[in-house]
Chain A
Amino acid sequence: MSNELQAGQVDTSVGTAYKVRDMAFFYGTKKALDSINVDIPAKSVTAIIGPSGCGKSTFLKSLNRIAEAETKVRIDGQIELFGQNIYDPKVNLTRLRKNVGMVFQRPNPFPMSIFDNIAYGPRVFGFKGDLNELVESSLKKAFIWKEVQDKLRTSALGLSGGQQQRICIARSLAVNPEVLLMDEPCSALDPIATLRIEELIASLREQLTIIIVTHNMQQAGRVSQNTLFFNTDETRIGNLVEGGPTKEIFFSPKDKRTEDYITGRFG
């Protein structure tokens, strides 16, 4: 492979979900990411860490093409998901995003009932089966069924932040995605709610490819099998410094900058 990472090859023995080659990302004319090359393994958790402004979230938002819903962007290079180029002009965004769920930094349940929140995706896609059953199984997968089973018809906005975030995860799971992108899903939550989400991530690992952006390095260490370290310099352009099995990144990083970041010397 010509575009191999310089150091710490990510462990893709379980199969590859995303294959990113020579990717550059522009907001308008401003370059935000440059020469990203990485393979992201399937059915495991990949954490993305790095200081603020290094382009972690931007990278994540390019994986389900939600970045272009916010503002004018341009992507060079290639991103393949299970062998299909997701920036092919023929790609149906609806189908792509159905397969690549996303959980955001601040819980964003819709202002409707808990049931309708979960049923939203399936209804949009004209789900024909038993909606009650699907809602129940999605809530169970997100570890929140027991807490909400008696109040499915009440507003999702009445729940606590941690519960809302699990509702958002259940909402994504209801359309049966292959990949779940998580953009600092615990940054607005307390430690106990965070722990619940982390347990949930661990339980979903075998069915899904999970990519999680986090500021919390302990969290990256706890939940992920592989870690990507993004960084930026005075050019303000983000790049991927190093990626590899989480243990290696944390205990024997090959790059000085990774080591400095992990040990808390900057960031």
Chain B
Amino acid sequence: MTTTIPQQPVKEDLTKPIETGRSVFDSAMTVLSIVFTLFAIVPLFSVLIYVLIQGFSSLDFDIFTELPAPTGTPGGGFGNAIQGTLIMVSFAALISVPFGVLTGIFLSEYARDSQFIQVVRFGVNVLAGVPSIVIGVFAYGVVVAAFGSFSAYAGGFALAILMLPIIVRTTEEALKLIPWELRLGSLGLGANRFNTIARVIVPAAIPGIITGVMLAVSRAAGETAPLLFTALFSQYWIESLNQPTASLAVLIFNYATTPYVDLQRKAWAASLLLLFLVLVISIAARFVFRRRF
């Protein structure tokens, strides 16, 4: 026996289009958002492609090994600027990573909502908004004026201050993404707070923390303003950290504004190298600290 369900006529014609006004508006908004997205990525890709084209044609082996040639003389390189950038960014990371990561842990894991935490968090946000040139002036006052000389130390110090709020904020955010149940699971086993943070929470958040550190390193490697007041520039290889030091960012700034085509080409090569450096460091760091489980 088959059960029959009486057929009801559908009340409304389902193929009838909705009012034209609404559907036109819907399509228009979709098109608008696609167009604006395309506009937004045009500058991004133009910069990348232009630096690639200009930079590659200007690259040669000498730039890694040679010092800048006297103005007007062809040839030469900027090995000292590569050296200077690597040293100052490493020095800055050496200071800002431990301070930044530990502050981020403190903000996320200890006393999440106390008054003190609010003050610290506000301070970090303000610091993140301080223009980098102001940080340069500050480092000038604290280090250069006190020690009486432009130096790699002063440059590294300025970059460290620049990196600090980025690392603090990304570390805090990365830790907050770790499910609360993992902390309870660890505490429930009798582990104390240190064990919970050091053995469970931070290892779980490592990819996010590394992303933040790399973001800060990229920012620092490309900053010119804080270095103008602190490390200045130098035509020579580094002999001590206590003397003016060359950097890729300042070299680009100096060379790009000269009328000499040869120096302008070197600025392009330095730009490409800076991009490449940041890319390589990021990929290497992600590989070393990749999540294993």
State the A residues within 8 Å of B (CB).
64, 66, 69-70, 93-99, 101-102, 104, 106, 108-113, 120-121, 124-125, 154-157, 168, 171-172, 175
A94 touches B190 (CB 8 A): yes
Q: How far is the CA of A120 from the CA of B185 in the complex (A)?
A: 11
B190 touches A168 (CB 8 A): no
Q: What 4 pairs across the A-B complex have the smallest Cβ distances?
A: A98-B190, A155-B293, A102-B188, A108-B181
B179 CB, nearest partner CB in chain A, Å: 7
Supply 5 A–B pairs (Cβ within 8 Å), ascending by A. A69-B183, A98-B190, A104-B184, A108-B182, A111-B182
Q: Interface on chain B toward A: helix, strand, loop, or mixed SS?
A: helix
B291 touches A111 (CB 8 A): yes
Residues of B within 8 A of A168 (CB): 185
A99 CB, nearest partner CB in chain B, Å: 8
B58 CB, nearest partner CB in chain A, Å: 46
With both beta carbons as reference points, the residue of chain B lying nearest to A174 in the complex is identified as B189
B293 touches A171 (CB 8 A): no
Q: How far is the CA of A102 from the CA of B183 in the complex (A)?
A: 12
Q: How far is the CA of A171 from the CA of B183 in the complex (A)?
A: 14
Residues of B within 8 A of A125 (CB): 190
Given A106-B181, A110-B182, A111-B293: A69 in contact with B187 (beta carbons within 8 A): yes
With both beta carbons as reference points, the residue of chain A lying nearest to B191 in the complex is identified as A124
B291 touches A171 (CB 8 A): no
**Which of A69, A109, A125 has the most B CB atoms < 10 Å from its CB?**
A69
Known: A106-B181, A171-B189. 9 other contacts (CB 8 A): A69-B183, A93-B192, A98-B189, A108-B185, A111-B182, A111-B204, A124-B190, A125-B190, A171-B185
A156 touches B293 (CB 8 A): yes
A112 touches B293 (CB 8 A): yes
B192 touches A94 (CB 8 A): yes
Given A70-B184, A104-B185, A156-B293: A110 in contact with B191 (beta carbons within 8 A): no
A121 touches B190 (CB 8 A): yes
State whether the Cβ of B199 lies closer than 8 Å to any Cβ in chain A. Answer: yes
A139 CB, nearest partner CB in chain B, Å: 16
Partner of A104, one of B181, B190, B199, B203: B181
Partner of B200, one of A69, A70, A101, A110: A110
Partner of A120, one of B184, B189, B192, B291: B189
Residues of A within 8 A of B182 (CB): 108, 110-111
With both beta carbons as reference points, the residue of chain A lying nearest to B194 in the complex is identified as A124
Partner of A97, one of B180, B189, B200: B189
Residues of A within 8 A of B199 (CB): 120, 124
A97 touches B190 (CB 8 A): yes
A64 touches B188 (CB 8 A): yes
State whether the Cβ of B258 lies closer than 8 Å to any Cβ in chain A. Answer: no
- List CB contacts (< 8 Å) of B188-211 with chain A: 188-192, 195, 199-200, 203-204
B293 touches A101 (CB 8 A): no
State whether the Cβ of B83 lies closer than 8 Å to any Cβ in chain A. Answer: no
Q: How far is the CA of A64 from the CA of B187 in the complex (A)?
A: 10
Given A108-B181, A110-B185: A121 in contact with B291 (beta carbons within 8 A): no
A168 CB, nearest partner CB in chain B, Å: 7
State whether the Cβ of B186 lies closer than 8 Å to any Cβ in chain A. Answer: yes
With both beta carbons as reference points, the residue of chain B lying nearest to A94 in the complex is identified as B190
B184 touches A121 (CB 8 A): no
Residues of A within 8 A of B186 (CB): 110, 120
A112 touches B203 (CB 8 A): yes
Residues of A within 8 A of B187 (CB): 66, 69, 97
